[in-house]
Amino acid sequence: MSAGTAIGMVSESLQDLLVGEWSLRPGLTVTILGPDEVAGDRRVNLFLYAVAENPFLKNRDWALQPGSGDTLVAPPLTLNLSYLLTAYAPNDPSTGNATAHEMLGEAMRVLHEHPVVPEEHLAAGLRDAIEELRIVHVPLKLEEMNRIWGTFTPYRISTAYEVSVVQLDAEDERPLPKRVRTVGVPDVGAPFAPPVVTAMSPVSGPPGTMLSFSGEHLDGRQAAVRVSGKALTSEVDPGADGFSAQLPATLERGLHEVRVDVAGLFRRVFLFEVE
């Protein structure tokens, strides 16, 4: 949307919507004036009484400028517009304000049936906008309505609507930061092969038995063996696929857990029976 004229174009769009979808006869005149400004006797008036920044779209980040791959633009100023809808008609000697009430009801029907302003009723400058133009009825208590009408006389029955979102494009822009790129062939190394202990022998014997462990990728690593809380440490020879550890001579008869840890990369528990 245009930064300077978007609010005015929204009012024009609402005016065109009411005139275009009006079903009562005779036709309708829609004015965009203050409630106390003089105009025709039979009309519906849209009075813009409040403009507020949309709280949900307030802190958006900078975005890439449409059609550009290297320029960032600041987020738009996103607004909600509050309108007072009032109907004016000459008083009838017998029915009083009934005609104005009929006109107000018809205007509310049009806005209710078109919660999003159709493209054919949008001002030309709004038809390419990303966000839809939504209309929401906002019931106001009598005290709030009296505050709005406080500076205008005489009071007339009215209702309020909020139109959102209206975006005013920001003019701030900045170049997109250059990305760091590395040109070249990455270094490809051999895949990591962790140590593995696959077997222990023997699985039974007397106290003091020498245990042999076999596996893969064990060369040059430190192996820790614990039996019944006693640590038995063994250094694996370079190039070897196994190591040995001797059980304590004081080990009691029965089943014992033999816990193996190779350099913190592999752990396994075996069972050994002391005869």
Q: Is residue 45 part of a domain?
A: yes
Q: Going by C-beta distance under 8 Å and a sequence separation of 6 or more, which residues neighbour residue 117?
A: 13, 14, 17, 132, 133, 134, 135
On whether both 169 and 258 belong to a single domain, the answer is: no
Based on the domain organization, do 236 and 171 belong to the same domain?
Answer: no
State the chain's mean pLDDT as an integer.
84
Q: What is the domain extent for residue 110?
A: 6-175
Is 266 within the bounds of a domain? yes
User: What's the pTM value of the predicted model, to 2 decimals?
Assistant: 0.58
Residue 9: its H or E element: helix 6-20
Q: d(Cα 265, Cα 250) in Å, to the nearest integer?
A: 30
Q: If 0-12 CB within 10 Å is exposed, 13-18 middle and 19+ buried, where does residue 106 land?
A: middle
At 87 the pLDDT is 92
Lowest mean pLDDT among 28-37, 129-138, 140-149, 188-197: 188-197
Instruction: Establish if 131 belongs to a structural domain.
Output: yes
For residue 111, what is the domain's CATH number? 3.30.2000.30
What is the maximal distance between C-alpha atoms in the chain? 122
- In degrees, rounded to 5, the angle at the alpha carbon of residue 110 between the alpha carbons of residues 127 and 155 is 110
Residue 238, pLDDT > 80, answer no
Residues 230 and 113 in one domain: no
Structure-token match 């014997």, residue found: 205
How far is Cα of residue 160 from the mean position of the Cα atoms in its chain?
30
| pLDDT the model gives residue 187 | 66
Residues 140, 227, single domain; the answer is: no
Span 129-166, pLDDT tens digits: 878 899 999 988 888 888 888 777 677 888 999 998 88
Count of structural domains within the chain: 2
187 domain residue, yes or no: no
Of the listed ranges 6-20, 144-158, 171-185, the least confidently predicted one is 171-185
Are residues 228 and 151 located together in one domain of the fold?
no
Q: Judging by DSSP bridges, how do beta strands 30-31 and 43-53 pair with one another?
A: parallel
